[in-house]
Structure 1
Amino acid sequence: MAPMQLPVMPPVKPMLAKLVPTIPTGELSYEPKWDGFRSIVFRDGDEVEIGSRNERPLTRYFPELVEAVKANLPERCVVDGEIIVVVGDRLQFEVLSQRIHPAASRITMLSAQTPASFVAFDLLALGDDDLTSRPFEQRRAALEQALTDAAAPVHLTPATRDPELAQQWFSQFEGAGLDGVVAKPLVGTYQPDKRTMFKIKHQRTADCVVAGYRVHASGPDAIGSLLLGLYNDEGELASVGVIGAFPAARRKELFTELQPLVTTFDDHPWAWAKQEQGTRTPQNSAGSRWNNGKDLSFTPLRPELVVEVRYEHMEGVRFRHTAQFNRWRPDRDPRSCTYEQLDEPVSYDLAEILALKS
């Protein structure tokens, strides 16, 4: 088989977006912000490579998408997009993450059980033409034409130039697991690894119980992260995530401040974690697929401190991303920190989003 020969060759770092607080206006195109693996797909006939944000190929992890690319994308093209996994009517990032696995047999099984989809949103090359120096407005038009006959699991992302509709998408689409809106300058060229687009993400706050800590890599007397809990309907303290972005000096101060609250697992709501010390707690079953073998054990604290954190959205019973420290809440009773305080988006059918036309 002849080697791949395209006007834009892998690896390519995808163009990025900078975070802004509100949806901007102007000569912009707006799209839903998909919650998956950012990927650039290279196709030259039967040769297909799926590149990732860090330039490492993802091809072996998504055999079903290789076949879908051959069936739905132009014979020779380079397409920027997102790999997603849909379970029911929502995106499920955790299920998608399970695909990064060393065992080919497991990848094959998961590709059949929870197959991935590819959502296209930019066109870098078509045939012998390098489109990266053309304005996005032209690239989008060419992408729409190139994907006229594309069918699931390959999709063209919806797009609009109406900021009011973008605001509506921002509110509604979270119910399907999307995490915001992206705004792209219509005259912008494709600039790899540059933050020339804009992203608007959901930001909420929640009051959580501090149930433990892990020490920082810099030493045993500095806090690496704080473990957060919320009380569920059964009155049990459930693990919901962590916060960990503290200045170096503050990490040491926190360590000293928290020592009076250190307790044993015997007197802790997560007493079951005692037998997991030195392994992967508090969610041992979930593990840490990105840090295989890493010691994720923690020091338990009496659940008396309450912290207000910023978060984007939930995935199941946990924060989808690492939460951010906002402020301490000494006025809050830890027992009042329940799931009921969380702002739950109204459910939205993901199939409707994928079927939208620009």
Structure 2
Amino acid sequence: MKSPLGPVPAPMLAKSVPGLPDQDSVPGGLGYEPKWDGFRGIVSYDGESVEITSRGSKPLTRYFPELVDAFAEQLEEPCVIDGEIVLRLGAPGGERLDWDALSQRIHPAASRIQTLSSETPASFIAFDLLERDGLSLMERPFSERRSSLVDLLGSAVAPLHLSRLTQDVDTARRWLVEFEGAGLDGVVAKPLAAPYSPGKRVMLKVKHHRSADVVVIGYRVHTSGEGVGSLLLGLYDDSGELRSVGGASAFTAARRLELVSELEPAVMRDAEGAVVTGEGERSRFSSGKDVSFVRLEPTIVAEVRYDQMEGSRFRHTVQFDRWRPDRDASSCTFDQLETPVAYDFGAVLE
């Protein structure tokens, strides 16, 4: 893919920090923005056609025709914009971002793409400007790029939006709490004096991190064929049913082998002593993959760290923290999870 000036730049990235830094922690100060939970998108407009590429340089243009039309209609000059594709659902006053619905937009069938573009239209949140009218802005400080972005998209209308920005850290800390109720997953701090650095982790991000006690209901063997690749986790609902809520992975090679021994006492076996296995959930992303797993008796409790929930499942793969032999599996219920106060996504855009 190319921008009006050449190949599309890789997006600038962010590194995680435990808390929002103050203004004076970075020379030139910081600008704070909501962290939008969607698909990163670099939009290139050459004056006639629109191209959208993902963080990994994959083409996204065909999946979001409604955004392509909006950019072609509203942009008045060639440019390259960095932003996020999001999908908002719910009645006015109660909207929130919906990751599952956004994921469904990546579909191979053109007819299905067209249908979804009408049934669940996406929005684009612009937060940086890399090129404008044939000139690269990447060497200019973020404060100047932001000013040019406001000039370019300050009067944009839905589905195009300009990201909110504040230089007040107290406001940003309030956003971190309030905006989670609309489906956002944190706040990003951007050095106002920094140039755009493709592929570099120049920005700082703060995400929500929480812990929960979960039942280990099974494990998948690592793709190497040795050790535990991932733990399958569950929680009990109000009816007493143990429901799958996600998984934990990213273990070292040595730890993967240790886990096999630690989990052995709970491995389920049939009358002949053979290990009982199950078939995991499939999606279009897991087509052709081995989703089988070793079943475990629901007796082992683990403490894990997570950021947020998507419905009744962990939004992302969680991090294993420690075993909890002091906890009874039956006590691992959904009511231990923190529920963010609902917040209207529409209000986030104001």
For Structure 1 versus Structure 2, the TM-score category normalised by the shorter chain is: over 0.9
CA distance in 1, matches of 2:128, 2:3: 20
2:299 match: 304
Deviation at 1:73, TM superposition (A): 2.6
2:38 to 25, 32, 36: 36
Q: 1:10, 1:51 within 8 Å by CA — same for their partners in 2?
A: no
Q: 1:137, 1:186 within 8 Å by CA — same for their partners in 2?
A: yes
Query: Do residues 110 (structure 1) and 148 (structure 2) align?
Result: no
Q: 2:3, 2:45 within 8 Å by CA — same for their partners in 1?
A: no
Q: 1:10, 1:42 within 8 Å by CA — same for their partners in 2?
A: no
2:195 match: 189
Aligned pair count reads 337
2:246 match: 241
Q: 2:215, 2:302 within 8 Å by CA — same for their partners in 1?
A: yes
1:58 match: 60
* Secondary structure of 1:304's aligned partner: coil
1:263 match: 268
1:269 match: none
Query: Do residues 179 (structure 1) and 185 (structure 2) align?
Result: yes
CA distance in 2, matches of 1:136, 1:252: 47
State the one-letter code of the partner of 1:198.
Answer: L
CA distance in 2, matches of 1:161, 1:72: 28
Deviation at 1:149, TM superposition (A): 1.8
2:69 to 64, 67, 70: 67
1:10 match: 7
Q: Deviations over 1:153-205 (max 9, x none)?
A: 00001000000000000000000000000000000000100000000000000
Deviation at 1:25, TM superposition (A): 1.3
Q: 2:33, 2:172 within 8 Å by CA — same for their partners in 1?
A: yes
Aligned residue runs from structure 1 range 265-284, under 5 A: 277=278, 281=280, 284=281
State the one-letter code of the partner of 1:13.
Answer: A
2:81 match: 79
CA distance in 2, matches of 1:87, 1:299: 37
Deviation at 1:46, TM superposition (A): 2.1
Deviation at 1:4, TM superposition (A): 7.2
CA distance in 2, matches of 1:132, 1:96: 29
Give aligned-pair identity as a percent: 57
Query: Do residues 232 (structure 1) and 234 (structure 2) align?
Result: no
Query: Do residues 99 (structure 1) and 105 (structure 2) align?
Result: yes
Cα–Cα, structure 1 residues 265 and 134, in superposed 2: closer, same or farther, change >3 Å?
farther
TM-score (ref. length: structure 2): 0.93
Q: 1:40, 1:51 within 8 Å by CA — same for their partners in 2?
A: yes
Deviation at 1:308, TM superposition (A): 0.4
CA distance in 1, matches of 2:269, 2:284: 28
Deviation at 1:264, TM superposition (A): 4.9
Q: 1:244, 1:324 within 8 Å by CA — same for their partners in 2?
A: yes
Q: 2:125, 2:160 within 8 Å by CA — same for their partners in 1?
A: yes
Unaligned segments of structure 2, at least 5 residues: 24-28
Q: Deviations over 1:241-281 (max 9, x none)?
A: 00011110111111122122111599xxxxxx97xx55xx1
TM-score (ref. length: structure 1): 0.91
Deviation at 1:293, TM superposition (A): 1.5
Unaligned segments of structure 1, at least 5 residues: 267-272
* Secondary structure of 2:257's aligned partner: helix
Q: 2:15, 2:204 within 8 Å by CA — same for their partners in 1?
A: yes
Q: 2:3, 2:44 within 8 Å by CA — same for their partners in 1?
A: no
Aligned residue runs from structure 1 range 205-220, under 5 A: 205-219=211-225
State the one-letter code of the partner of 2:21.
Answer: P
State the one-letter code of the partner of 2:4.
Answer: L
1:316 match: 311
1:270 match: none
Provide runs of 4+ in structure 1 moved above 4 Å: none
CA distance in 1, matches of 2:21, 2:80: 28
1:139 match: 145
Deviation at 1:28, TM superposition (A): 0.1
Cα–Cα, structure 1 residues 264 and 65, in superposed 2: closer, same or farther, change >3 Å?
farther
CA distance in 2, matches of 1:170, 1:72: 31
2:321 match: 326
Cα–Cα, structure 1 residues 37 and 4, in superposed 2: closer, same or farther, change >3 Å?
closer
Q: 1:203, 1:311 within 8 Å by CA — same for their partners in 2?
A: yes
